[in-house]
Amino acid sequence: MQVCGKLYVVATPIGNLKDISFRGLDILKSVHSIAAEDTRHSGSLLKHYSITTPMVSLHSHNEAARTEKIIQWLHQGHDIALISDAGTPLISDPGCYLTQAAHKENIPVVPIPGASALTTALCASGLPVKGFIFEGFLPAKAKARRDQLMALAREPRTLVFYEAPHRIVPMVEDMLAIFGAERVAVIARELTKRFETIKRAPLDELQAWLVADANQQRGEFVVMIEGYQGPTSSGKSYDATEVLTILLKQLPVKQAAQLTADITGEKKNALYKLALSISDKNAQ
Ligand code: SAM
């Protein structure tokens, strides 16, 4: 009987090319093929380490079709490595369909650990990591993003998000409106790269710092927020989202936002946007 091959899920660097394990390199050199999210992008990593293994593309648009071919190779006894553009495959990246298919076929799935922006950011954040919630990317549309943040407002565990540069400012502004000025957050930007920055501050300070410097809005981001710890230390025991939700039952959006700003001390503009989002949701 033909012995099937192994599917290796190999972590690659998130910036600094030295952040790959000896074992990861050995596997990439020895497998039959490497399934890569973007073969051109991964080409630079392979070139850097003089790896000449053939690559096939496997991305969100062709994962199902490509999986069929890869499973065939595995059944023929060939080992295959799965990599993504950066970090650990499947963490906000393709590969779930392929690994599921391999399990269904009793093909061994072997993880080769290494970098991920998630763990790299968390370990430098100074936030509790005993338990945490990884949300990946928030929805691109403002209303859906705010709805998701509102649903997380009372989550006591550390929250972790990925974000793209063109959405980092609106995202942090929404967080300020929904979680409140005093909640501590951390922005981890360009990890392991030349402009690596890890900035930790209460959300009002963090938002002001981000908006004041366009350079801090470039690159790749992980945003982490401390979990809800109950009423704030300043003695303000009002949660902006809750106050707004109650006031919106009786008042127009503008007035509800103004009163919530007076009660909670949060910024009126941000509350106005949040109020629009809540009243849209209530209207549905
Ligand atoms: N699989 C990857 C991992 O293990 O981290 C993540 C892939 S996800 C498509 C890409 C997102 O991860 C980026 O938009 C950014 O939010 C985050 N990211 C990746 N590299 C990063 C870095 N060097 N610094 C900060 N965030 C990074």
Which residue's CA is minimally distant from atom 13 of ligand 1? 220
Write down the pLDDT at residue 238: 66
Q: Of the residues 38, 171, 221, 224, which should be mutated to test ligand 1's pocket, given the most ligand atoms within 8 Å of the CB?
A: 221
Identify whether the C-beta of residue 10 lies closer than 8 Å to the C-beta of residue 114. Answer: yes
| Ligand 1 center to 164 CA (angstroms) | 9
Residue 64 forms part of a structural domain: yes
Residue 231 forms part of a structural domain: no
Does 218 lie in the same domain as 127? yes
**DSSP secondary structure letter of residue 3:** P
Residue 98 forms part of a structural domain: yes
Does 216 lie in the same domain as 262? no
Does 166 lie in the same domain as 78? no
Does 203 lie in the same domain as 134? yes
pTM to 2 decimal places: 0.87
Q: Of the residues 161, 162, 172, which should be mutated to test ligand 1's pocket, given the most ligand atoms within 8 Å of the CB?
A: 162
The 3-state secondary structure of 230-241, one letter per residue: CCCCCCCCCCHH
| Ligand 1 center to 106 CA (angstroms) | 31
Residue 233 forms part of a structural domain: no
- Below-70 pLDDT ranges, the chain: 1, 232-238, 282, 284
Q: What is the CATH number of the domain that holds 207?
A: 3.30.950.10
Write down the pLDDT at residue 78: 98
Does 126 lie in the same domain as 105? no
Residue 142 forms part of a structural domain: yes
| Ligand 1 center to 43 CA (angstroms) | 18
Does 132 lie in the same domain as 89? no
Does 106 lie in the same domain as 12? yes
Residue 177: CB atoms within 10 A of its CB come to 30
Helix axes 142-151, 268-283, angle to 10 degrees: 90
Does 244 lie in the same domain as 217? no
Tokens read off for 77: 């006894």
- Collapse the DSSP code of 161 into the 3-class scheme (helix H, G, I; strand E, B; otherwise coil) and give the result: strand
Q: Quick: pLDDT tens for 214-268.
A: 999 999 999 999 999 887 555 555 678 888 888 888 888 998 888 888 777 788 8
Does 131 lie in the same domain as 66? no
Atom of ligand 1 minimally distant from the CA of 117: 5
Q: Which residue has the tokens 């069929």?
A: 68
Does 98 lie in the same domain as 25? yes
Pocket of ligand 1 (CB under 6 A): 14-15, 84, 86-88, 91-93, 116-118, 162-164, 188-193, 220-222
Atom of ligand 1 minimally distant from the CA of 137: 16
Of 166, 175, 200, 198, nearest in space to 185 by CA:
200
Write down the pLDDT at residue 144: 93
Does 129 lie in the same domain as 63? no
Residue 2 forms part of a structural domain: no
Residue 230 forms part of a structural domain: no
**The dihedral of CA 73, 78, 79, 85: what is its sign?**
negative
Residue 11 forms part of a structural domain: yes
Sheet containing strand 55-57, strands side by side: 55-57, 33-36, 80-83, 7-10, 109-112
Write down the pLDDT at residue 237: 54
Question: What's the CA angle centered on 36, arms 101 and 137, to 5 degrees?
Answer: 80
Buried b (16+ CB within 10 A) or exposed e, 68-99: eebbebbeeeebbbbbbbbbbbbbebbbeebb
Write down the pLDDT at residue 255: 87
Q: Quick: pLDDT tens for 198-229.
A: 999 999 999 999 999 999 999 999 999 999 98
Write down the pLDDT at residue 200: 98
Q: What is the CATH number of the domain that holds 25?
A: 3.40.1010.10
| Ligand 1 center to 87 CA (angstroms) | 7
Write down the pLDDT at residue 236: 55
| Ligand 1 center to 27 CA (angstroms) | 23
Q: Of the residues 220, 223, 224, which should be mutated to test ligand 1's pocket, given the most ligand atoms within 8 Å of the CB?
A: 220
| Ligand 1 center to 72 CA (angstroms) | 31
Give me the domain span that covers residue 261.
240-283
Does 146 lie in the same domain as 87? no
The number of folded domains in the chain is: 3
Spatial CB neighbours of 135, under 8 Å, sequence gap ≥ 6: 148, 152, 159, 160, 161
Backbone dihedral angles phi then psi of residue 35, each to the nearest 5 degrees: -90, 115
**The dihedral of CA 180, 185, 190, 195: what is its sign?**
positive
How many Å apart are CA 228 and CA 83, to the nearest integer? 35
